[in-house]
Amino acid sequence: MSSPETITIPRAEYDKMKWQISHLAHQLEQLRRMIHGAKSERFVPTDPDQGKLFELEAQAAEERRKQQITYTREEPKQKKQPLRTELPSHLNRVIEVIEPQDLPQGAKKIGELVTEILELREAELFVRCIVRPKYVVESTDEQTTIVVAELPSLPIPKGNAGASLLASLMVSKYVDHLPFYRQRQMFKRLGIDLPESTIGGWFNAVCQLLAPLYDVMRKLLPETDYLQVDESPMPVQTQDKPGATHKGYQWVYFDPARGRVLFDYNKSRGREGPRQMLKDFKGFLQTDGYSAYNNLKDPGDVTLLACMAHARRKFDQAKDNDRARAEQALNMFGELYKIERQASEQGLDGEARYTLRQQEAVPRLAEIKAWLEKNKDQVVPKSAMGQAIHYTLSLWPRLVRYTDQGRFEIDNNLIENTIRPLALGRKNYLFAGSHQAAQQAAIVYSLLGTCKLNNINPQAWLNDTLTKLPDWPANRLHELLPGYQQ
C-alpha cells in the first residue's frame, strides 16, 4: 500500500493559495447572502455566557434536586381584550340605521349603539364632460358675435386624460412600484382598455410638462452648502445592445436642510456627471469612498465627509472571515450610533448635538482609530477584514468630520432611503426603455421623492401641480416645488 504523496511548495505560494481560498470563500458567502440571506445589517452583540448555556442548565438541574422550594402563586390576571383603534375622523361616514323588527307601538328611544366598519369602494373612472354653451350677441350695427367660454388649460393639450388620472399613473408606478402593464390590467377590470402606446404618450407628455420644474430644482441645488450624494445602477434598453441592457446610473443628490432630493441620470458611473452637477457648489459633500467624488473641482471649495454606515458595512461583511475582530468593530460602531439615537430621541438642535458628540463620540472615535492601527498589521491585507480596516483608515479624516458640526449626519442612510424606491422599481419594471426614459424617470423620482421627504401626499400634489402648470408664470415655478416655504 503506497503512502500519500507529499508535495512541497514555497511558503509564499502557500500563503497566496491560502488567501485565495479565503477570498473565494468570502465572495461565495456574500453571494449566498445576496441571493438567499437577510439584507439587514443589524448586529446583536454575543452574550459572553452563551457558550456556558448547557453547563449552567446542568448546574441548575443539580440545584433543583438538592433544594425544596415553596412559593405562593398569585392568581393569573384575566387577559384584557385588545383595544380597537379608532377610525380617523376625517373619513366620510355613510350612515346606515337598522331598526328593530316588530317594534311595539309607543317604544321610546333612549340611545343608540354605533358600530364603525372600515369599507372600501372600488376606484371609479368617470368622464368629465366640459360643456361650453354658445351664444349669439346681436349689436346695433346689425352684426352678430358668437360668444363661448374659453376651454380650461389641460395638462395635455387636445388630450383626453385629466390631471387626476395622469397623477394616478405616475404615483402608482414611481411610488407604489406598479408597472404600466399592471395598471392596464387594473383599468380593464374597471371597464376600459387603455393601449400601451396611449399610456406611453401620456407619460412623455407629463414628463415634458414637469421638466421646467425639474430644471428649477437643478438650479437651486448649489444654493445649499451641505449635500449628500450617492449613485445607483439602472438598466436601460438601447439599440446598440439588442437582447441586453446598458448599465446606466442614477446619481442622487440629497439636501437635508431643505428636504429635497434630485435624481440625475447618466450613461456611466464616471465623474463627469457629478462634476457637471456640482460645478457651482461650495460647501460640504458627504459620500461613500468611490473615487469619482475626489478632485471634482478646487479642493478649497468642497470639503468631503464620508459615510460611517459604509465603513461599518465592511466589517459586517467580514464576520465570516474574522468574527472576533468583526464583532469588536461592530460593537464600537454601535456605541457611536447609540449617541446619535440619544440626540434624536431628545430632539437636540444642532448646537446641542455638536456638544454631545464632542463629549461622547470624539473619545470613542479615538478608541476606534487606535484599534484599527493596532490590528492593521495583524491581518492579511487582502482579506475581508484587512480590506475593511484599510477602507476605514483611508477615509478616517472624512469619517470623523461629522463631529465638526451638529447639522452633519453620521452617514448617508437618509439618501439611501430615497434610493430605495428606485431599487424596488428595478424589481418590478426591470429596466428603462431608453436613455430618454431613464432621464424622465429621474424627473418623476425627484419630485415625488421630495414629496415623501416633506410628508406631502404625492397624488394630491401632482394632481394640483399638473392642473396649475400650463398657466403658471415661469418666474414663479419654484413656488410649485413640494415643501416650498414663502
Q: What percent of the chain has pLDDT over 90?
A: 35
Distance (Å, whole) CA 66 – CA 385: 49
Which residues on neighbouring strands pair with residue 286, listed in sequence order?
228, 305
Domain ranges of the chain: 163-219+433-480, 226-418
DSSP structure string for 372-423: HHHHTTSS-TTSHHHHHHHHHHHTHHHHGGGGG-TTS-SSSHHHHHHHHHHH
388 in Cβ contact with 317 (< 8 Å): yes
The number of helix segments (H) and strand segments (E) in the chain equals 15, 7
Residue-level pLDDT at 288: 85
288 in Cβ contact with 231 (< 8 Å): no
Task: Tell me the per-residue pLDDT of 382-414, one tens digit each, with 9 for 90 and over.
Answer: 888 889 999 999 999 999 999 999 999 999 888
Residue-level pLDDT at 44: 58
Which whole number is the average pLDDT over 306-326? 88
Task: Tell me the per-residue pLDDT of 415-470, one tens digit each, with 9 for 90 and over.
Answer: 777 777 776 766 666 677 788 888 998 999 999 999 998 999 999 999 999 999 99
Residue-level pLDDT at 53: 45
pLDDT band at 40 (very low <50, low <70, confident <90, very high): low
Question: Is 65 a residue whose pLDDT tops 60?
Answer: no
Which whole number is the average pLDDT over 466-475? 92
Backbone angles phi, psi at 148, to 5 degrees: -145, 145
Residue-level pLDDT at 360: 93
Cell numbers at 441, concatenated: 424617470
Task: Tell me the per-residue pLDDT of 146-161, one tens digit each, with 9 for 90 and over.
Answer: 888 888 888 988 888 8
Task: Tell me the per-residue pLDDT of 215-266, one tens digit each, with 9 for 90 and over.
Answer: 999 999 999 999 999 888 888 877 766 767 888 888 899 999 888 999 999 8
Question: Is 54 a residue whose pLDDT tops 50?
Answer: no
Distance (Å, whole) CA 148 – CA 183: 37
| Mean pLDDT, rounded, of the chain | 83
> At what angle are helices 163-174 and 413-429 packed, to 10 degrees?
100
Which whole number is the average pLDDT over 468-486? 87
Residue-level pLDDT at 397: 93
pLDDT band at 45 (very low <50, low <70, confident <90, very high): low
Distance (Å, whole) CA 151 – CA 171: 27
pLDDT band at 137 (very low <50, low <70, confident <90, very high): confident
354 in Cβ contact with 406 (< 8 Å): yes
Which whole number is the average pLDDT over 181-189? 90
